[in-house]
Structure 1
Amino acid sequence: MNSKSIKCPVFDGTDYGWWKTRMMHFIQGTDYECWVTIENGPLAITTTDANSVSSEKAPKDYTSDDYKKAEKNSRAISLLQSGIGESETSRIAGCKTAKQIWDSVELAHEGIVQVKKQRIDLLKQQYESFKI
């Protein structure tokens, strides 16, 4: 089975947990290196001078390997954009990397760690009061 036969899950603003899991598996199955790019950010394309100082390489100096590195972020962005519906596109409009897109949607729908813990505590309290 190839990745073209698997339909990309589209996030419409509801049921984020379902979409997140499905999208993660969809991207991993399509191109695992793209998933690594989403988790860790794009690969740095650098050059080292005679004094062993690293600096970002100018696109005009890219080698074919450098272009392959840059393409991973672009491909990951494309995969994410194909899985995000119209209701969420304004949230990711200013993002330059796939990691920024993923983190932006995640933050909007899951919140930061403290908010997640508060939600869990609230759900536990609701469950316990329902049980009584």
Structure 2
Amino acid sequence: MKIHLTSVFVDDQENALRFYTEVLGFVRKHDVPMGTDRWLTVVSPEAPDGTELLLEPSGHPAVRPYKEALAHDGIPAASFAVDDVPAEFDRLRALGVRFTQEPVEMGAITTAVLDDTCGNLIQIVHSK
């Protein structure tokens, strides 16, 4: 068994697509119209056939309180692996990305947490 698809709820799919592709560096995999929303997924350019991230619309009534509670408590909605957290932090910060946690070493891992502009906190992490 392996993870095929996971999702983050986004307030605006077009804004999310821009952020996740132009800023974070993912690539669009699927973009299928579904009424007023889209089945919109992105993947890592390093693994185009790997796990897809669905940029899922936040329309369900349970989503808003869920996202607000996570953000209020500083809990990331997703975690992405990078080769070097401090370097990625510098790259993203230069692009105007807002971080809620600067790089922190925690034993064998280093993490940082960013705001994805779509209502989510996203953790970046690397292991030594």
Q: TM > 0.5 between the two?
A: no
> Which is richer in strand?
2
Shorter-chain TM-score range: under 0.3
TM-score, length of structure 2 as denominator length = 0.23
